[in-house]
Amino acid sequence: MIENINTWSEVWLNYFLAMIVQNTLFLLMLLFILHLIKNTSARFKHFIALLGLIKLLLPPFLPLSTSSVHWHLIAQRIGWIDPSTTSTITAQLSPSGILFLTWSAAAAIFFFISVGATLRLKQRLADATWLDRLLIDDNLIEIYGSTAISVPMIIGWRHKIYVPITWPLLDTTLQEALLRHELAHIKRWDTLFTALQMLSQIIYFFHPLVWLLNDRINEYREMTCDDEAVEGSKVTPLLYSRYLILAAENLLRADWSLISASAIIKKRNKLYQRVKYQIRGNRTFKLNRAWSRLIIGFTLVIMGLFSWYCDGEKRPHVLSQNAIVAGFYQIEGIITDIDNKHPLTELQLWVENNAKTKTDKNGRYAFSRLPEGDRTLFTRFRENGHQIHLELFKKFNAVIIEMQMNARNPKKTTTIMPLDAH
């Protein structure tokens, strides 16, 4: 089990470290773009911010062949991977294994906190009382009153809106505007994007820029729904803003743990921004179509620029400086077909003590952190329906080995060429 954790953790760290660096650079540029367009409509800023959210959740998709970026060695240099430890011999967790388990535990805690908050909210609203059924813009809405909340909100995608018990005291025109606000959340699938925000924060719980981006998304989302509420009703921005201020007075009654709810008001400082945005009204700068497309296109371009992964890195035919550390060795090389010289890809290799790897698309392979001493290299293939273990190279110690073998009959025609030995 420990051996598997150490193996998985190195793969995870090599991949995740690249994502962290790329997403950090991307978020810095995205937040700068949002700053430049701060006087535009909330709807446009929300769309740009959502592109950033999608980028966080997309795995790198552009292959990059390079010998200059080795995340594994970077992790070694900063101490996250210790080349002097080996899971196959000592059965101890490596630093990368400890880091992986720590990240997994913290992510699990954030997950259960978020899910628990949603479940608690649903439980609190279970005794809500049906109040009315209205038709707004061809959307049939069920309205439920509850003493457990102080502001209107929705849960999920159903056309069901929960309102505070003081709802009947509000003016009917203001009631319609507030219902349109919540209906805008439903029509815009904001519950789905809220779930994606929660997922991104679980994965990057340690990253302040991710928290900042999600905070901006929440702010722009509420402003956008405010716009739709005012535009579709007879209420004025000033009257709507007065309700927001009134809602702020009841903010202390709200449950701060309801992070998955679609609420009108969450924090006092965000309320000020929403009121300011509504009062500013027509002074919002409106981008023309050309500028909008240019900004969206530039954002998509930088999304691609920071979505690469190292694929088939070429390793030099020299042992690295980390090849021999405290009695441990690194073995690397290439395997090609003896007939056509093409690389043999996805070929499984291992040495004693179950240290395993496989060749990449260029036929290259590498073993790291092997203990000092003679080792034998094996591969596996099938012959007449039976699995055969083939001994490729016997009694080697810290070498770079280039091998050629016949892909159709490797058992009979294996040729081995050691390039260097220590």
Per-residue model confidence as pLDDT tens digits over 226-282: 888 888 777 778 778 877 777 666 544 444 444 333 443 455 667 777 878 887 765
For the structural domain made of 328-420, what CATH number should be given? Answer: 2.60.40.180
Residue 421 is predicted with a pLDDT of: 41
- Name the pTM for this structure: 0.67
Residue 69 is predicted with a pLDDT of: 46
Residue 210 is predicted with a pLDDT of: 96
Residue 255 or 335, more confident = 335
Q: Give yes or no for residue 153 having a pLDDT over 80.
A: yes
Q: Give yes or no for residue 65 having a pLDDT over 60.
A: no
Residue 175 or 47, more confident = 47
Q: Give yes or no for residue 193 having a pLDDT over 80.
A: yes
CA atoms 112, 251, 154, 272: torsion sign: negative
pLDDT in tens, 90-141: 457 778 788 889 999 999 999 999 889 888 888 888 888 898 888 888 888 8
pLDDT band at 394; cut points 50, 70, 90: low
Residue 316 is predicted with a pLDDT of: 37
Strand order in the sheet with 356-358: 356-358, 348-350, 375-383, 386-396
Q: Give yes or no for residue 4 having a pLDDT over 80.
A: no
User: For the chain, what are the domain ranges?
Assistant: 2-115+290-310, 120-207+223-286, 328-420
Q: Give yes or no for residue 80 having a pLDDT over 60.
A: no
328-342 average pLDDT score? 74
Q: Give yes or no for residue 196 having a pLDDT over 90.
A: yes
Angle at 232 between CA 294 and CA 52, to 5 degrees: 30
Residue 312 is predicted with a pLDDT of: 45
Residue 45 is predicted with a pLDDT of: 93
Work out the percent of the chain whose per-residue pLDDT is above 70: 68
* Average pLDDT over all residues of the chain: 75
Residue 207 is predicted with a pLDDT of: 94
Residue 232 is predicted with a pLDDT of: 75
Q: Which of 257-266, 284-293, 306-315, 375-384 has the highest mean pLDDT?
A: 284-293
Q: Give yes or no for residue 400 having a pLDDT over 90.
A: no
Residue 293 is predicted with a pLDDT of: 92
pLDDT band at 414; cut points 50, 70, 90: low
68-95 average pLDDT score? 50
Q: Give yes or no for residue 325 having a pLDDT over 70.
A: no
